[in-house]
Structure 1
Amino acid sequence: MAWDTALAQAIKGTSRAALAGQPQPWYRAEVVQVTPKLIFAIADKEFKFDSSTGLIMTATAKSKTWKVGMQAAAILQGSELLVLDAL
């Protein structure tokens, strides 16, 4: 539980940095495909990520049963998207 609190506080801190003119630290990712691969998209579905193209998931996110249209909080770092949890 303490790890979840620390992660939430880190996200909150980076969100404040974004308000100060820095790049957006997190994104609202949407599930656009479930089978044969789970694919998340960000930025109006312009960028898509799956396990072979830089999709990384926390244990919490990985344990979810994802369906097309579901949304998640995600962090974009370089060419990798870290999905944190469902929104």
Structure 2
Amino acid sequence: MAWDTALAQAIKGTSRAEANRKPQPWYRAEVVQVTPKLIFAIADKEFKFDSSTGLIMTATAKSKTWKVGMQAAALLHGAQLLVLDSL
């Protein structure tokens, strides 16, 4: 019985810690493709964004000449990535 209680308390503590964790404020996005579409990727290239899949850019970021491998500061909100500027 004591083992069940200890396990339940451990699970409860873990779920509270997860609930209180704040989302990451910004991401380091990397240009993985330039033509025919500009594509940025985050999280070890697991998530990719282009103009048809939620990529949004500030005027500063749009004015840059992007090359494959360049990095940018970006904010993720839902399924949209806002690229702020190059790093």
Give the TM interval when normalised to the shorter protein. Answer: 0.7 to 0.9
Identity of aligned residues (%): 88
CA RMSD of aligned residues (A): 1.0
Following superposition, which runs of at least 4 residues in structure 1 exceed 3 angstroms of deviation?
none
The answer as to 2:71 corresponding to 1:62 is no
Specify the structure having the higher radius of gyration (Cα): 2
Gaps of 5+ in 1: 1-19
Q: Which residue of 1 aligns with 2:44?
A: 44
Gaps of 5+ in 2: 1-19
TM-score by length of 1: 0.76
Distance apart, 1:25 and its partner CA: 1.3
Distance apart, 1:21 and its partner CA: 3.5
For residues 69 and 86 of structure 2, the distance between their equivalents in structure 1, rounded to whole angstroms, comes to: 11
* Structure 1 residues 10-25: aligned runs within 5 Å: 21-25=21-25
TM-score by length of 2: 0.76
